[in-house]
Chains A and B, each alone.
Chain A
Amino acid sequence: MTDQAIAITVNGERRKGRTEARTTLADFLRDELALTGTHVGCEHGVCGACTVLLDGEAVRSCLVLAVQADGADITTIEGIGPEPGRLGPVQQAFMECHGLQCGFCTPGFVVSVTSFLAEQPAPTDDEIREMLSGNICRCTGYQGIVAAVHRATELIEEATA
């Protein structure tokens, strides 16, 4: 079980590392690249806390092996804002609408919602709830999160108007 060399682009930066084949992308990001914004809740695909963009699509990073991501382009929560220290519209909306309490689930929600709104900029309440079903939050009761998604659509529209 020799380690394998991999090279991935993370938040626009080319990063290299060596890893065992069994290491998930989530653990590689956190332990090798020190990008601890990607959270690991269940480690088997149920909670969504580990969601990242892989070649532009939202995926569970606990269900992708790091070796499978060799050559891929990854965006994590650290790269979701416009620049370091500035919030993107979805982050801003979560803050304004109390879309978080403890914040453990938040990186996964923000990445998922960002990717969903890029494809569907004006979702209905039902579509929002269906889309959010892939992420679990133990704290908020989801009302603030649904409100945040609505608010994010406004912020995105204002920014592009």
Chain B
Amino acid sequence: MKPGPFEYHAPHTVADVTALLAEHGDECKPLAGGQSLVPMLALRLTGFPHLVDLNRVDGLSGVERSNGTLVIGAITRQRVLERDPQIAEAVPLLARAAPLIGHFQIRNRGTVGGSLAHADPASELPAVALALGATFDVAGPNGTRSIAAADFFTGTWSTALEPDEIVTAVSFPVRGERTGSAIHEMARRHGDFAIAGAVANMSLDAAGRVSAAAISLFGVASTPVRATGAEAALVGAAPADINTLEIGRLALADQEPTDDIHATGPQRARIAAHVTGIVVARALEEAGR
């Protein structure tokens, strides 16, 4: 099907974007890579009288490293995550997550900010942002603010953004010493949204014990979720004593995934527990190297 009619705006500044969003209220939507919004328009699942294209806005694209953080402009294409050697060095988890997003043709156009703002519960980047404690830079008609990843995702396809706000950039902490990270998922075919997946970021202290553990799950709830119980069980442990199967079970202990056409809830939970074990093992292995 084809999208219904709308008025198209292509402003050049963030101020003009937020002014348009404020003027038209819920009749208006930002358009980034279009890899989620255009299909929804074409299927007539949604429709807006006004679209504001972010692609011609100055200053929304690019990658910059400063003082232990890597700042990625919202309109930076997902493909950049897997190509830019600076990203692979500073936040390797981003380079590992990107190839799992759709297909390369999707990533050539889809943006980092778009994936985060779209907030699909089975998406990779929101889970990565949550595990790493990313910060979102947000601009609205009354100025800018920042939102922690932990407060950003509020439900399926919904976020803490006001309708007249956009994400302008996302900051990720640069990988620390003795830290390892991994992402893994199970999907029916490569490029499909995951049935379930997990992300781990683990640090070891000088004595080789776990000093920090972050695990986030995707595809198991309406937002990506941290597995706090499993994280607590890991901190202080020596890698040789860690039973990753047990950690996987613990991670899912307080989750009740729901059924859909791809998998039942219990299947989803078993898959998530299994991939959690895998990412914890891989992250620990890398941290100890």
By a beta-carbon cutoff of 8 Å, the part of chain A in contact with chain B is 1, 4, 20-22, 24, 27, 43-45, 48, 51, 54, 57-60, 62-65, 67-68, 112, 116, 129-131, 133-134
- Residue B16, interface by CB 8 Å: no
Residues of A within 8 A of B8 (CB): 4, 21, 65, 67
B69 nearest CB across to chain A (Å): 28
Contact A59 B109 (CB under 8 A): yes
**A20-B5, A22-B5 given as contacts; is B109 within 8 A of A134 (CB)?**
no
Which of chain B's residues has its CB closest to A20's CB? B5
Residues of A within 8 A of B243 (CB): none
Docked pose: A116 CA to B107 CA in angstroms: 13
Q: Can you report 26 A-B residue pairs in the complex whose CB atoms are below 8 A from each other? A: A20-B5, A21-B7, A21-B51, A22-B4, A22-B5, A22-B6, A24-B2, A43-B1, A44-B38, A44-B39, A48-B105, A57-B79, A58-B108, A60-B106, A62-B38, A63-B38, A63-B39, A65-B34, A65-B38, A67-B8, A67-B10, A67-B53, A68-B31, A68-B34, A68-B53, A134-B104
- Residue B189, interface by CB 8 Å: yes
- Residue B191, interface by CB 8 Å: yes
Contact B105 A58 (CB under 8 A): yes
Docked pose: A133 CA to B55 CA in angstroms: 27
Contact A45 B189 (CB under 8 A): no
- How many cross-chain pairs have Cβ atoms below 8 Å apart between A and B? 89
A60 nearest CB across to chain B (Å): 6
A46 nearest CB across to chain B (Å): 8
Residues of A within 8 A of B106 (CB): 45, 60, 134
Contact B189 A133 (CB under 8 A): yes
Contact B39 A134 (CB under 8 A): no
Q: Using a CB-CB cutoff of 8 Å, which residues 19-39 of chain B contact chain A? A: 31, 34-35, 38-39
Contact B109 A44 (CB under 8 A): no
Given contacts A21-B7, A58-B104, 20 further A-B contacts (CB under 8 A): A21-B51, A22-B2, A22-B41, A24-B38, A43-B1, A44-B38, A45-B35, A48-B103, A54-B109, A57-B79, A58-B105, A58-B108, A59-B105, A59-B109, A64-B38, A65-B31, A68-B10, A131-B103, A133-B191, A134-B191
Which of chain A's residues has its CB closest to B1's CB? A43
Interface residues on B, range: 20 to 34
Residues of B within 8 A of A59 (CB): 105, 108-109
Contact A22 B35 (CB under 8 A): no
Residues of B within 8 A of A63 (CB): 34-35, 38-39, 109
B187 nearest CB across to chain A (Å): 10
Name, among B1, B31, B34, the residue most crowded by chain A CB atoms within 10 Å (CB to CB).
B34
Docked pose: A51 CA to B35 CA in angstroms: 13
B205 nearest CB across to chain A (Å): 38
**Among all A-B residue pairs, the 5 with the closest Cβ atoms:** A134-B103, A21-B8, A44-B39, A57-B108, A133-B190
B260 nearest CB across to chain A (Å): 18
Which of chain B's residues has its CB closest to A2's CB? B7
B197 nearest CB across to chain A (Å): 17
Docked pose: A101 CA to B41 CA in angstroms: 32
Contact A1 B6 (CB under 8 A): yes
Docked pose: A63 CA to B39 CA in angstroms: 7
Contact B6 A21 (CB under 8 A): yes
A129 nearest CB across to chain B (Å): 8
Docked pose: A22 CA to B105 CA in angstroms: 21
